[in-house]
Chain A
Amino acid sequence: MEVFWDQTLRFFSFGDPIVRVAVAGCLLLGLACGLMGSFIMVRRLSLFGDTLSHAVLPGVAMGFIWNLSKDPVAILIGAVLAGYLGVMLVRWLTATTRLKEDAAMGMVLAGFYGLGVCLLTFVQRQAVGDMAGLDKMLFGQASALTGTDIQVLAVVSGVALALVAVFYKEFLVISFNETFARVSGIPVRWFNGLFFLLLSFAIVASLQAVGVVLVSAMLITPAATAYMLTDRMHRLIGLACVFGMLAGLIGCYLSFLGAGLPTGPFIVLVSSLGFIAAWFFSPRYGWVLEKLRRISRRRRMALENTLASIYRFREGEGHAETVALSLLGLSRHRNESLEEVESRLKRLQAEGFAKLVPSPRTAALEHCQVVLTAKGARRARTLIRNHRLWELYLNRAADYADDHVHDDAELMEHYLSEGLVDRLDQRLDYPRVDPHGRTIPSKEEARQ
């Protein structure tokens, strides 16, 4: 425990230069990956991103072999070239054989990765030159990042950010509708080339900290998380960058706690947890809130149906609001158990729609009188008005048979807005009688 707090303090004071470099690296890679990943995701290029991230590996090894040192620029160039070669190979395979893109990508991905691992192992066996961190390319180790790495990362992220900001509208329209972009005179090929280059940069820049195997997750997951939360591209990009950076920071911290643990899996894990949280709790597309909304909708409908039943019962018995209706009577009328009706009425009472008045003759709950408050009566009349107007509308305008309109209206009465009901009323010329011959409360009556 002591150690835990020590390490935490050491990490978040950012005093240790190694920690500073590692954190800067993880933040920058989160930014770059979130940015490019947003486009990858909306363009449905996830598999492409995965392929590219594996295809760069032999280039990384070659970049090292080039001058036997871990020179970030040489590695960057080697990686971009290898990535380009891989992508071209996929194109060539799909164009000249019957293979489809996914098969071609799958092969190129695995083939290049295999070659890369072999080359890296070979380089390490030779044990020449300074290869600090080269063995960490597979799973990533942020603490192996050097100051030069950070400079390269910063330049790469900065350039990517600036170019996307300047050419945002071009990238947007190309992603949404490429042919339309072309006929609008946008040099699509040029931008796609640029996109490929920026993406390769982001991938290579992230290799050292996240590793080849998991880079594609860093591209997709923050973007996918953001996609759960927003419907606008610029917000999606912003959120994806923030999520990427957060995952970078927290993942880096977690791997730091257990000294020597690979960073990549932790960053990806944090990022995935973030996605799960968004998937469950997103206000718009979240699973939990959708469920809650559905439950509360159902409950409201049940309450409103009870209100409408009380109204209908009275109407059937004459019309006077003084007709006595006991809880038992209501339960028989609604064909529901006494407990169910009781709990509904308790809720209605709590919300001020109805009151339960004890019977003077007996203390038994089932003989309590159900009385609508003014508010409850208003709501009931509105529901009845909605229901009957909708029935009449279906009957007249949509040619529904009389005996078919009830079920539909039973649902619609809860959803019709006041404006729509007024328009219905007007369209039907302010009718007073529904298809079953019952009175439709007018707007004024409903309001009373």
Chain B
Amino acid sequence: MKPVLETHDLTVIYSRKPVLYGVDLTVHAGSIVGLLGPNGAGKSTFIKACMGLIPLESGWVELFGQRGRKAIRRAGYVPQRESVDWDFPVNALDVVLMGRYGKLGLFRRPGKADREMAMDCLRMVNMEAYADRQIAALSGGQQQRIFLARALAQETDLYFLDEPFVGVDAATEAAIITILRKMRDQGKTLIVVHHDLTTAAQYFDQLVLLNMRVIASGPTQEVFTEENLHRAYGGRLTLLTQAASERIQQRSS
């Protein structure tokens, strides 16, 4: 079977500074992949590169064994929450409905079926009661769920989620991870940027440690070692190391 995502020699340079350098990665279908790395490691950049949002210096990205815009449309995207203006005059349902736009194509308007489908997606994230709320009147966790519902409405097999747990309360975090697992069980692949090492081992089937290059990637048990984390986080690993090594000890005992 073709891998869902394959990158080869992926290199991105921002104003003469390499942000990603020679990233080779292969992800197969049906898993939740955690993308971990310190701040500024290039995690968001990696996602944007995969989605064709920024030019590559070299290398290529294949989604479902294909390259180019057609392939990218088969992937869903949940951007970082702060990347949009929440005062924008739309309600929750409007935002979820935007997930249908890609499938609709240029001239068709969203119809009744799309609206119902969007409502279903809201229901899946337990937000149906907020369908006609203006989006600034939602809490951070609710906004994140709206984004997730919009991704669900895209009905794709591969999703990139950029820090979906930031600024979200514990209950929402648990709810989101439950939804992600449900999606995985339906055969979808989720690539999730995350930076809380204490929960990483618990949430993800596979891990990719990234810091400009891929430090390690593979099944969580193999990747989530103190040595790898040290290599990814460098000297910056202090409190985080502690938390992580506690985790590792817990798991091995």
Contact = CB atoms under 8 A, between A and B. Distances in A.
A44 interface: yes
Interface in A184-211: 184-186
B109 A168 contact: yes
Contacts of A180: 77, 79, 98, 150
A211 B98 CA distance: 38
B109 A230 contact: no
Contacts of B98: 169, 172-173, 176-177, 180, 184
B212 interface: no
Contacts of A186: 101-102, 106
Given A186-B101, A231-B134, A177 B79 contact: yes
B75 interface: yes
Contact of A179 (B73, B83, B104): B83
Interface string B104-126: 10110110000000000000000
B91 interface: yes
Range for the number of chain A residues in contact with chain B: 20 to 34
A232 interface: yes
Interface of B is mostly: mixed
A175 B88 contact: yes
A233 interface: yes
A331 B54 CA distance: 71
A182 B88 CA distance: 19
A183 B107 contact: no
B90 interface: yes
Interface of A is mostly: helix
Contacts of A167: 106
A179 B77 contact: yes
Contact of B72 (A169, A185, A230): A185
B205 interface: no
Given A176-B84, A179-B53, A169 B101 contact: yes
A179 B104 CA distance: 18
Contacts of A235: 89
Contact of B73 (A184, A231, A232): A184
A179 B72 CA distance: 12
Interface in A248-281: none
A52 interface: no
B94 interface: yes
Given A184-B73, A231-B134, A170 B101 contact: yes
Nearest to A182: B53
Contacts of B76: 183
Given A176-B95, A231-B134, A236 B77 contact: no
B88 A176 contact: yes
B89 A236 contact: yes
A167 B134 CA distance: 23
B51 interface: yes
B5 to A, nearest CB: 14
Nearest to A233: B89
Nearest to A176: B88
A42 B75 CA distance: 27
Give the most central of A183, A227, A233: most B CB within 10 Å.
Answer: A183
A166 interface: yes
A179 B79 contact: yes
A169 B104 contact: yes
Contacts of A168: 109
9 smallest CB-CB distances across A and B, nearest first, come from: A184-B102, A231-B134, A185-B73, A183-B77, A173-B98, A233-B89, A183-B51, A177-B84, A185-B102
24 contacts: A166-B107, A167-B106, A169-B104, A170-B101, A170-B106, A172-B98, A173-B101, A175-B88, A176-B90, A177-B79, A179-B51, A179-B77, A179-B83, A180-B79, A181-B101, A183-B75, A183-B102, A184-B101, A185-B102, A186-B106, A227-B89, A232-B89, A232-B90, A233-B90
